[in-house]
Amino acid sequence: MEPAVDVESMLRSSGIYPTPQRVSIGELLFARKQHLTAEQIHERVSQRFRRVSKATVYNTLALFVSKGLLRELVADPARTFYDSNTQPHHHFFNIDTGELSDIPGDQLLNLPEGILPEGTKVKAVDIVVRVCNR
């Protein structure tokens, strides 16, 4: 089955050399919009590549983030997620289940006029709403 996204072309157009490990990581991440930790990515990619190291996964994730292909989200001090949806949006994080889910970007926050420091503009707003089960 061919991936829905041509990951190799996506990487090349972002200035990233498409090694087999990078392509495999990209195929996993860009197959659909999702939130995965580096550990989950390492585990899933290792099922396909016996020799992929944690360092390769972390370095690839950092590269993808720096090129704007992924968003890095710190949901709590012990957990960082990588989000394949780079469009503006926010998140719910369930502290009981560890699940991260999307909130559409236009559904949560509008900054009032005059709140920003003079001479600045909003580059991005990342909101994580932490919830728990009753």
For the chain, give every domain's residue range: 7-81, 86-131
In this structure, the dihedral spanned by the alpha carbons of residues 33, 35, 91 and 95, taken in order and rounded to 10 degrees, is 150
* pLDDT value for 102: 87
The CA distance from 25 to 41, in Å, is 7
N-terminal to C-terminal alpha carbon distance within the chain: 42
Answer for the pair 10, 26: CB distance below 8 angstroms, yes or no: yes
Q: Which is it for the CA torsion 48, 3, 34, 123, positive or negative? A: positive
List pLDDT tens digits, range 91-108.
Answer: 888 888 888 888 876 665
Residue 49 above 90 pLDDT? Answer: no
Its pTM stands at 0.81
- The topology under which CATH files domain 7-81 is Arc Repressor Mutant, subunit A (1.10.10)
List pLDDT tens digits, range 77-96.
Answer: 888 999 999 888 888 888 88
Closest CA relative to residue 98, chosen from 130, 72, 125: 130
